[in-house]
Amino acid sequence: MDRTALVTGANRGIGLEVCRALAGRGLRVLLGARDEALGEEEAGRLRSEGLAVRAVPLDVGRDASVAALVGRLDGAGERVDVLVNNAGIYPSDPLLGPDGERALAEALAVNLLGAVRTCRAFLPGMVTRGHGRVVNVSSGYGSFGEGLEGPAAYAISKAALNALTVKLAEEVRGSPDVKVNAVCPGWVRTRMGGTGASRSVERGAETIVWLATLPEDGPSGGFFRDRRAIPW
Ligand code: NAP
């Protein structure tokens, strides 16, 4: 059956690679980008590789942007079967510093509430249709079990994204073919991860793609790296 995936924050980095990999597996891919022109440039490149990828404007930090996308897809009779909440920012100001509160607010607005917005927009449709996959791109920095390392605002926002994953998975438990999972991609060479990171974008995307295409008997409500469960 034809499936459509929406990947947020996909004009570069891990998200862009997830688009390539999902389209390579035969999914129709909506490449979400704040800057539609940038998104379309990347989508065009992927189309020239023979992949079914289209850019859609999406700023997950703004309710109006998510609502506009929902309206546009509804109007075109398009559904979202796979949602990859990849968009993320990495504010590094210390919490007690002059910009600490702003940094936390910004991190929560994108890394947590961005996923809340898209899940509220697209998860109910998955439940109604009885099929769907949500992948929340989190981080080991959001894991209490791994020491909640990294800058405070980022770590708190990713721990909250992990909590969101657990609670949403609980809410959709009655639909066994709707799965909600979180993933740590590892330390990846992107604008966020930097050039010294240990992993390629292909490696970073691998477990995300696995979770986005899980079979019906696959896990839900888990946190994974390299296809293995890791502690919350
Ligand atoms: P990246 O290269 O900095 O890309 C981040 C993407 O998110 C960009 O496309 C950016 O768009 C987008 N974005 C930021 N705010 C947005 C918003 N409000 N609405 C929509 N898109 C927005 O980072 P990356 O390394 O690929 O990171 C992808 C995900 O992996 C993030 O959630 C990150 O926390 C997670 N992660 C990364 C690493 C790593 O080592 N790289 C490790 C653990 C977890 P613009 O171009 O418009 O800014």
Q: φ and ψ at 227, to 5 degrees?
A: 65, 10
Question: What pLDDT is attached to residue 43?
Answer: 98
User: At residue 209, does pLDDT exceed 90?
Assistant: yes
List, for residues 191-203, the tens digit of each pLDDT value.
999 999 999 999 9
Please say whether the beta carbons of 203 and 197 come within 8 A: no
Please say whether the beta carbons of 82 and 3 come within 8 A: yes
Q: What SS3 state is found at 144? A: helix
User: Which ranges constitute the DSSP H helices of the chain?
Assistant: 13-24, 36-48, 63-75, 100-107, 113-129, 152-171, 201-212
What does DSSP say about strands 4-7 and 53-57: parallel, antiparallel, or unpaired?
unpaired
Q: What is the pTM of this model?
A: 0.98
Rounded Cα–Cα distance for residues 135 and 123 (Å)? 11
Report, as an integer, the average pLDDT of 48-57.
98
Catalytically annotated residue among 122, 141, 154, 224? 154
Please work out whether the CB of residue 35 comes within 6 Å of at least one atom of ligand 1.
yes
Rounded Cα–Cα distance for residues 124 and 8 (Å)? 18
Domains annotated for the chain, with CATH where assigned, are: 4-229 (3.40.50.720)
Please work out whether the CB of residue 118 comes within 6 Å of at least one atom of ligand 1.
no
Residue 137, amino acid: V
List, for residues 59-101, the tens digit of each pLDDT value.
999 999 999 999 999 999 999 999 999 999 999 999 999 999 9
Report, as an integer, the average pLDDT of 91-118.
98
